[in-house]
Amino acid sequence: MSAPHDLSSLVKPLVDQIPLSARGFERHRVIGRLIPTLGEFTLLQMREVLEHYLALMSENNASDIDMGGLGCGGNVWYRIYGAKKPLDEHPNFSLDETNILFHSILTQDQRDFLLEHRNLDFSYTMPLPGGGVQRFRADMYFDMEHLGLNMRRINAEIRPFKSLNLHPEVAKALSLKYLKYGLSLVTGITGSGKSSTLDTIIDANNRSVDAHIVIIASPVEMVHEPKRCLVRHREVGRDTKSFKAGAIEALRQDPDIIMIGELRDPETIMTALEITDSGHKTFSTLHTASATESIDRIIGEVAPEEQDRVRNRLADVLTCVISQKLVPTIDGKRTMAKEILLNTPSIKAAIRNNNTSEIYQMLMEGAAVGMNTLEQDLKRLIDERVISVEEAYNYANNKKRMKDLIG
């Protein structure tokens, strides 16, 4: 199915106005100034070109789309069940065509931020034919002075909490109904489903307690409708200046739960610990592959002279860590394997005494309270004939332990 409009003919009037001397980032500044001259009708047609390829994502079960820049070679690329492949119809866009297309969907504030920082995180909403909308998380960046774009499709349906298959003790730790405070983390590499898991946890609280949830994200992905909870969504760069600012501001908004999209810098980490220490239930994500690595990462992000204080604070406020990976299944799809840590007295002591190397063994022996290592969960998936032994070994953090478990 071809795109509804010819992008080349739509952008030609603007391309003809760009001086030959305008190159590199100056060319993008000129494009930004000329975009309004295209007129609303042409801009709408250009948006329809982009949304044509976004609509194909659903048909192809794609999680991500990539366009623009030298790296795409003029093609549209999709990630389908973990594999990144170009679209069969090969649109063969020129660099100017995708540069102008991407500029056309930005506000002037977004364009200014992009040109200053060379990167822009934002959300994009597309209306659906039968009503409703499809939301995307987008990242626009430069590839050899040309714009590249990645957009991730946000699943409009939240998975049921039961689908996480959590032990009752873990479920209680994540629920405001049973525990009114504490820091819970969902960790994993990019594309491991952290946001989906966090949305499931937020939704479970939204359905079960009368409270106020503040979500601070960059960008906001899932928009939660208020059920039993009042839910505020604050997008970094649009509704608040930063994760740190949003978290501090949230304290003055009478929240019960604060969700910080990502602990991406020392300032945000310290702020998350402080707001949790003040008696709030806090959720966030980290780009780490295991529960132990998550603890070490938080402590290692701060200055050496601050690490003992942060270690003690983390030991006090940490509630739960879920570290997850999406593993290819035997039937060609993907399934979640997870490592779970609960901050038991033994783990609390290990964190406080800087003995995090002991935690792995505690996870292995913690089944009674719902803890397990990633390797134990991979072994479960092998036994259930969901994944192969080879994939379990490939995705294991501790290869030696995985080999021992497989036998």
Q: Where are the domains of the chain?
A: 7-153, 161-406
Compute CA distances 243 → 121, 168, 200, 265, 296, whole Å.
13, 31, 21, 10, 21
> What is the number of alpha carbons within 13 Å of residue 359 lying toward its C-beta?
30
What whole-number distance in Å separates Cα of residue 320 and Cα of residue 151? 30
Contact 47, 105 (CB under 8 A): yes
Q: Which CATH superfamily is domain 161-406 in?
A: P-loop containing nucleotide triphosphate hydrolases (3.40.50.300)
95-104 and 7-15 helices cross at what angle (nearest 10)? 90
Which of 74, 79, 47 has the alpha carbon at shortest distance from 63? Answer: 79
pLDDT at position 375: 98
Residue 322, classed as helix, strand or coil, is strand
Phi/psi class of residue 38: alpha, beta or left (left: φ > 0; alpha: ψ in -120 to 50)?
alpha
What whole-number distance in Å separates Cα of residue 262 and Cα of residue 203? 18
Token digits of residue 365: 């022996």
pLDDT at position 88: 86
Q: Which amino acid is at 47?
A: R
Q: What is the mean pLDDT of the chain?
A: 94
Q: What is the mean pLDDT of residues 296-319?
A: 94
Express each pLDDT in 32-80 by its tens digit.
999 999 999 999 999 999 999 999 999 999 999 999 999 999 999 999 9
Which of the four pLDDT bands, split at 50, 70 and 90, describes residue 157? confident
pLDDT at position 1: 57
Token digits of residue 267: 């300032």
Token digits of residue 34: 């000329």
> What CA dihedral angle connects 159, 164, 168 and 169, to 10 degrees?
-110
Contact 371, 342 (CB under 8 A): yes
Express each pLDDT in 387-404 by its tens digit.
999 999 999 999 999 999
Q: Which residue has the higher pLDDT, 345 or 129?
A: 345
> What percent of the chain is predicted at pLDDT more than 70?
100
Specify the residue for token string 């990645």: 150
What whole-number distance in Å separates Cα of residue 320 and Cα of residue 119? 33
What whole-number distance in Å separates Cα of residue 261 and Cα of residue 247? 10
Token digits of residue 7: 């992008």
Which of 356, 376, 357 has the alpha carbon at shortest distance from 366? Answer: 376
243-250 and 266-277 helices cross at what angle (nearest 10)? 10
**Burial label, 227 (beta-carbon count in 10 A; 0-12, 13-18, 19+):** middle
Q: What is the mean pLDDT of residues 113-140?
A: 92
End-to-end C-alpha distance for the chain, whole angstroms: 50
Q: Is the peptide bond before 219 cis (omega within 30 degrees of 0)?
A: yes
Express each pLDDT in 189-234 by its tens digit.
988 999 999 999 999 999 999 999 999 998 888 999 999 999 999 9
Q: Please give the helix or strand (H or E) that residue 144 lies within, else none.
A: none
What whole-number distance in Å separates Cα of residue 369 and Cα of residue 240? 38
238's CB contacts (< 8 A; 6+ apart) are 219
> CATH assignment of 7-153?
3.30.450.90
Token digits of residue 227: 């059920």
What whole-number distance in Å separates Cα of residue 278 and Cα of residue 299? 19
